[in-house]
């Protein structure tokens, strides 16, 4: 069994992205399962091009995408990705879409196929603040979740996939009144998420 877990590069003027900082130092194996780690670009067009290539190359059994969510105080497990790209700020390529579908003539939305409620319960049992989120937004995080689930659906692949948003880490909020979570706790949350996700495989 193989688990692909991704994080994003920094964006929005930040020097680091806690999603990738947490992902890159995960163990190479968890409960005997190989962990594949990839850093994704904060690019609408880049995600549409590169993420399917990564999926085809790695052929994982489970895909766990992660990203930074400013303002959120807990680990949030996303329930749904919608077929829209819209942003008030440019991505790292300088692109700022408005009311643009990710894929034309594709489904309006896809639901996560990870065991989202069980993941939240396990995180809380381990004293990690966690919740289900019903909106992954319309920025690159939502695009990544949609692209992964769409690729899996149209190719009839037996892959479970979903998205997790993580808070800022403390060093990012030294001069701004935003909630944060330690990198150690975020990394532990991702390990727990992986362990819960592989139970059904």
Q: Mind telling me the catalytic residues? A: 78, 141, 165
DSSP state of 150: H
Q: Which two tokens stand for residue 42?
A: 């904060």
DSSP state of 103: S
Helix (H, G, I), strand (E, B) or coil at 68: strand
Residue 114 is inside which H or E element, if any?
A: none
Q: Are strands 29-30 and 33-40 parallel, antiparallel or unpaired?
A: antiparallel
- Give the distance between the most distant pair of CA atoms in the chain: 47
Beta pairing partners, 85? 100
């Amino acid at each position: 069994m193989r688990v692909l877990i991704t994080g994003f590069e920094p964006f929005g003027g930040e020097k680091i992205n806690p999603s990738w900082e947490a992902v890159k130092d995960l163990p190479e194996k968890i409960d005997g399962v190989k962990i594949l780690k990839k850093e994704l670009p904060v690019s609408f067009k880049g995600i549409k091009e590169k993420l399917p290539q990564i999926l085809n190359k790695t052929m994982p059994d489970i895909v766990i995408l992660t990203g930074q969510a400013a303002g959120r105080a807990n680990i949030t497990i996303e329930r749904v990705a919608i077929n829209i790209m819209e942003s008030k700020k440019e991505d790292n390529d300088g692109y700022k879409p408005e009311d643009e579908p990710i894929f034309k003539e594709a489904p309006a939305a896809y639901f996560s196929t990870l065991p989202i409620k069980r993941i939240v319960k396990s995180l809380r049992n381990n004293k990690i603040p966690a919740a289900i989120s019903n909106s992954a937004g319309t920025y690159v995080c939502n695009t990544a979740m949609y692209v992964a689930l769409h690729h899996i659906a149209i190719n009839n692949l037996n892959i479970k996939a979903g998205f997790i948003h993580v808070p800022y880490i403390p060093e990012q909020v030294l001069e701004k009144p935003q909630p944060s979570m330690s990198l150690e706790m975020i990394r532990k949350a991702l390990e727990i998420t992986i362990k819960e996700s592989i139970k059904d495989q």
